Amino acid sequence: MPILAHPYVAFLGLDVHRDSISVAILNPDQRIPDMEKIFADEEPVCRPIGRLGDPRLL
């Protein structure tokens, strides 16, 4: 099974529902993603994405 992770790339997964979004973030140095559930509004969505740094590396 090929390894998909690149040493400098973070992966972001979003499972979108009507009222909430499940967010999973896998940073290059992790094997298990950080996960959280947020409200489906602009500010809560931007917060976890902003923590990742350069959006070109997503």
Full pLDDT tens readout for the chain, 58 residues: 455 555 667 788 889 998 999 989 888 888 899 999 988 888 887 887 777 777 776 6
> For position 1, what pLDDT does the model report?
43
What's the pLDDT at 4? 57
pLDDT at 26: 87
Amino acid 3: pLDDT: 53
Residue 15: partners with Cβ closer than 8 Å, 6 or more residues away: 21, 22, 24
Percentages helix, strand, coil for the chain (3-state, rounded to 5) are 20, 35, 45
Q: What is the distance between the alpha carbons of residues 2 and 21, in angstroms, rounded to a whole number? A: 28
Domain boundaries, the chain: 11-57
Identify which of 52, 51, 20, 54 has the alpha carbon closest to the alpha carbon of residue 36.
20
